[in-house]
């Protein structure tokens, strides 16, 4: 999963889909299923990037359903993504709970009705919240920490009086076509669920997870966590900076460099065999290495904020209060190259998997990533390795 060519646009995207095991139409090709408990800690962040297919799912005959309520504890810093989904009649009637801008949102499709309602408290504060969803006659009720957050009333002339068949439940994805949604959203959710009680059922859940399930850390903090196994890559045409000439392009990295090791970022020009710019951290001994083309500049200090400004034939690096300027004739016109399309990677060096070894991947937490003063969401990346958490880092406190 750690190989990427320094290519732009559709070619890079095509490679990413191949690496992730997708089919030509974006459908998951399938892996051996295994059973998992629905009551233990569940890290939704380990879902396949970009796919709507659930992390885990279960089904049960409706005749076995005795409860009309599901409840679970939920924690996240992520502002948007899928939390919980359920349906009957093989997706003819369905429900999904998501977050959008940190707020709970319910979308429901039932017979000839399609509805979307958003409200209640923000849930992306990194704290555990008790979430309860119940069906009460013609109403679907969402409660957060014992208080009603959303109440949705539904009544249709086409609604069946007696349901037969099965009910399906899913976490971290949906089981209906995206075209059925009232409003589209970003599906990935970097969050954790624990102590789930799903309609009081004891049926095991199924998952297609590769490898061992991720833990839900006891303490977390906002940021993007790189465990030393992969990177996230953007095409610069998808990032801010296209209106700037004189001021250049500014990339800001916030975090404790004493707790990082490896490649923080790399900027790559399509068709070039080596990165144009890289920033690496080595803490034994302590140093920050800025490489421009094949020339290294080394500073022996730690930082809480590092800023790169890319100008025409010039690179400025600010490490906290220290300012460094590098001028090299062979440096490209960054503002122009940025508009044309470069590959900006965080957490590693895109390569062929042989010339760049895994020891160069970043291990650590980037508390904030900004381009031109705007926050960068790794969920929007052209490619993100499955090991990278977009919105949370393990914390010692």
Query: Consecutive 10-residue runs of the chain (397 residues): their mean pLDDT?
Result: 39 34 37 81 79 89 87 97 93 94 95 90 98 91 96 74 81 93 92 94 85 88 95 93 75 96 92 88 89 88 93 90 82 86 92 54 97 94 90 91
Q: Of all helices (H) and strands (E), which one includes residue 368?
A: strand 368-371
CA distances from 75 to 40, 70, 191 (A): 14, 16, 6
Nearest to 385 by CA among 336, 349, 332: 349
Q: How far is CA 381 from the centre of its chain?
A: 9
Check residue 201 and give its pLDDT: 85
Give DSSP secondary structure letters for 52-108: -S-SEEEEEEGGG----EEEEEEEE--SSEEEEEEEEGGGTEEEEEEEETTEEEEEE
Instruction: At 31, list the tokens.
Output: 């892996």
Check residue 140 and give its pLDDT: 92
Whether 247 and 383 share a structural domain: yes
Whether 268 and 169 share a structural domain: no
Side-chain-side CA neighbours of residue 208 (13 Å): 16
Check residue 322 and give its pLDDT: 86
* 8 belongs to a structural domain: no
What's 62's domain CATH number? 2.60.120.200
Instruction: At 270, list the tokens.
Output: 């399509």
pTM: 0.86
d(CA 341, CA 326): 23
* 380 belongs to a structural domain: yes
Check residue 265 and give its pLDDT: 96
Number of folded domains that form the chain: 2
Residue ending a domain, among 214, 248, 276, is: 214
Whether 55 and 79 share a structural domain: yes
Contact indicator for 388, 230 with CB cutoff of 8 Å = yes
Check residue 306 and give its pLDDT: 96
For residue 364, the SS3 value is strand
Instruction: At 216, list the tokens.
Output: 């839900």
Check residue 31 and give its pLDDT: 63
Contact indicator for 306, 253 with CB cutoff of 8 Å = yes
* 3 belongs to a structural domain: no
User: By residue range, what is the domain housing residue 143?
Assistant: 35-214
Contact indicator for 207, 55 with CB cutoff of 8 Å = yes
**Which residues does residue 106 pair with via DSSP β-bridges, in sequence order?**
97, 117
Whether 245 and 145 share a structural domain: no
* 72 belongs to a structural domain: yes
């Amino acid at each position: 999963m750690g190989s990427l060519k320094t290519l732009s646009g559709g070619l890079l995207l095509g490679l990413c889909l191949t690496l992730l095991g997708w089919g030509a139409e974006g459908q998951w090709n399938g892996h051996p299923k295994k059973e998992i408990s629905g009551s233990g800690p569940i890290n939704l962040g380990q879902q396949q990037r970009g796919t709507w297919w659930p992390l885990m799912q279960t089904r049960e005959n409706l005749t076995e359903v005795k409860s009309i309520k599901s409840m679970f504890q939920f924690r996240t810093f992520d502002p948007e993504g899928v939390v919980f989904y359920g349906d009957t009649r093989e997706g003819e009637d369905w429900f999904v709970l998501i977050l959008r801008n940190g707020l709970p949102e319910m979308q429901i499709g039932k017979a000839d009705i399609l509805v979307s309602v958003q409200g209640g408290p923000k849930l992306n504060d990194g704290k555990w919240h008790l979430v309860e969803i119940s069906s009460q006659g013609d109403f679907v009720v969402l409660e957060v920490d014992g208080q009603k957050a959303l109440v949705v009333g539904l009544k249709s002339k086409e609604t069946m009086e007696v349901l037969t068949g099965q009910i399906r439940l899913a976490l971290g994805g949906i089981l209906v076509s995206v075209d059925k949604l009232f409003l589209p959203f970003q599906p990935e959710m970097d969050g954790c669920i624990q102590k789930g009680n799903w309609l009081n059922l004891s049926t095991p859940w199924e998952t297609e997870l590769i490898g061992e399930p991720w833990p839900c850390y006891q303490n977390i903090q906002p940021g993007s966590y790189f465990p030393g196994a992969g990177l996230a890559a953007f095409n610069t045409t998808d990032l801010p900076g296209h209106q700037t000439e004189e001021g250049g392009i500014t990339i800001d990295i916030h975090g404790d460099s004493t707790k990082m090791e490896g490649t923080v970022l790399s900027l790559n020009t399509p068709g070039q065999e080596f990165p144009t710019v890289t920033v690496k951290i080595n803490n034994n001994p302590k140093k920050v290495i800025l490489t421009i083309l094949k020339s290294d500049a080394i500073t022996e200090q730690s930082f809480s904020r590092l800023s790169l400004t890319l100008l025409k034939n010039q690179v400025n690096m600010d490490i906290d209060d220290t300012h460094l300027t590098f001028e090299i004739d062979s440096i490209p016109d960054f503002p122009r190259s940025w508009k044309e399309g470069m590959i900006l990677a965080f957490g590693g060096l895109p390569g062929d998997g042989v010339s760049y070894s895994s020891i160069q991947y970043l291990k650590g937490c980037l508390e904030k990533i900004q381009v031109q003063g705007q926050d960068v969401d790794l969920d929007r990346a052209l490619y993100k390795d499955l090991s990278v958490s977009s919105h949370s880092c393990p914390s010692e406190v």
